Amino acid sequence: MSLKAPPSPARRSRGRGGQSGRPVRRTSGGLARLGPLPWIAPVVLLILAVVVWPVIELIRTSFLNISIAGIVRGSAGTDKYKKLFDETDFGHVLLWTVLWTVVVVGVTMLLSLCLAQLFNQNFPGRRVTRWALIAPWAASVLMTAIGFKWMLNRTAGVLNTVMIDLGIIDSSKDWLGSAGTAWPWMMFVAVFVSLPFTTYTLLAGLQTIPADVYEAARIDGAGSWQTYKGITLPLLRPAFLVGVVINLINVFNSFPIIWAMTQGGPGSDTATTTVFMYKLKETDIAESAAMSVVNFAMVVVLVLIFLKVSRWNEED
């Protein structure tokens, strides 16, 4: 279950007496003579222009003085970083970002394990119910978040109505008005939109476990919890880890949920570093760039973990 590059032709040709490290299709004149450039250059160019260039621009901007109108006023050295770290909100924004990411990913993984186990069973309507699970995955995260904002609306939100009718609360609340209640709801939405992908990833993992392993466990007299702990969980580990890392990256970056529901407010009480970065962009784009560089560094760490977890280098 390690991450593998798509099958390389050389490996396939080995079976037919070919040598690895050489094009299989030596006969195919045009293809081989032109080399890879005309084929892969457009992809590389697009990535250079839209992914690599912004990274460089980002780092460069964080060391500049730039007016609100966007005019460069010389170098700022590391001033923007100092300004950023001195922001009174910076500490708690950082803390909440970590909490937000850890809680959302943790709860998502736990619930997805249950969901995957459930939807891996045989029951009537399995296909239909699994399709229903797709909705939050396919729909725009922003629109889902706006949907929840509306459902939490103080005057007419259906969630307020339901909770009043169930006797959970006495009168309708302004859930998104203060950080204490806004955070749990935003985390709820983040988990809600992360569940489908994670569940499907784990389902794919579950299906790689051969049936005879379970058969063997049954014959040995293992109970269902024992089987789950001793067989399913260890064998599910690769899928689980990939799910964790991809979710970490997604949740860390999940700007639309918070932006749609509270815009990080009141103040910066419900901002994560990405939201904070966006807010800084309005006043000082260089400081915002400094925040981005910090974010970017964290994403790089997560990507490296991903590559490690998926064991990119092990094969090929």
> Which residues, 54 to 113, sit near another protein by CB under 8 A?
54-58, 61, 70
Residue listed under structure tokens 């003579």 = 33
Which residue of 65, 178, 181, 253 would you call a contact of another protein, by CB under 8 A? 253
Compare residues 117 and 181 and give the one whose CB is closer to another protein.
Answer: 117
**216 to 235, contacts with another protein by CB under 8 A?**
none
Which residue of 179, 182, 249, 251 would you call a contact of another protein, by CB under 8 A? 249
> Interface with another protein includes 25 (CB under 8 A)?
yes
Burial of 209 (0-12, 13-18, 19+ CB in 10 A): middle
CA distance to 120, 208, 223, 229, 273, per residue, from 217 (Å): 18, 16, 8, 12, 47
CA distance to 124, 136, 256, per residue, from 115 (Å): 16, 15, 25
**28 to 47, contacts with another protein by CB under 8 A?**
28, 30-32, 35-36, 38-40, 42-44, 46-47
Distance (Å, whole) CA 104 – CA 191? 6
Minimum CB distance to another protein, residue 230 (Å)? 21
Compare residues 179 and 202 and give the one whose CB is closer to another protein.
Answer: 202
* Contacting residues for 65 by C-beta, under 8 A, at least 6 apart: 72, 73, 74, 75, 76, 79, 286
Distance (Å, whole) CA 69 – CA 44? 33
Minimum CB distance to another protein, residue 179 (Å)? 19
Residue listed under structure tokens 């001195």 = 86
Minimum CB distance to another protein, residue 227 (Å)? 15
Distance (Å, whole) CA 285 – CA 80? 10
**109 to 148, contacts with another protein by CB under 8 A?**
115, 118-129, 131-144, 146-148
**270 to 309, contacts with another protein by CB under 8 A?**
274, 277-278, 281, 285, 288-289, 292, 295-296, 299, 302-303, 306-307, 309
Compare residues 126 and 218 and give the one whose CB is closer to another protein.
Answer: 126
**188 to 207, contacts with another protein by CB under 8 A?**
192, 195-197, 200-201, 204-205, 207
Minimum CB distance to another protein, residue 98 (Å)? 16
Question: Across the strands, what pairs with 75?
Answer: 64
Burial of 56 (0-12, 13-18, 19+ CB in 10 A): exposed
Minimum CB distance to another protein, residue 64 (Å)? 9
Distance (Å, whole) CA 295 – CA 316? 32
Q: Under DSSP, is residue 65 helix (H, G, I), strand (E, B) or coil?
A: strand
Compare residues 82 and 154 and give the one whose CB is closer to another protein.
Answer: 154
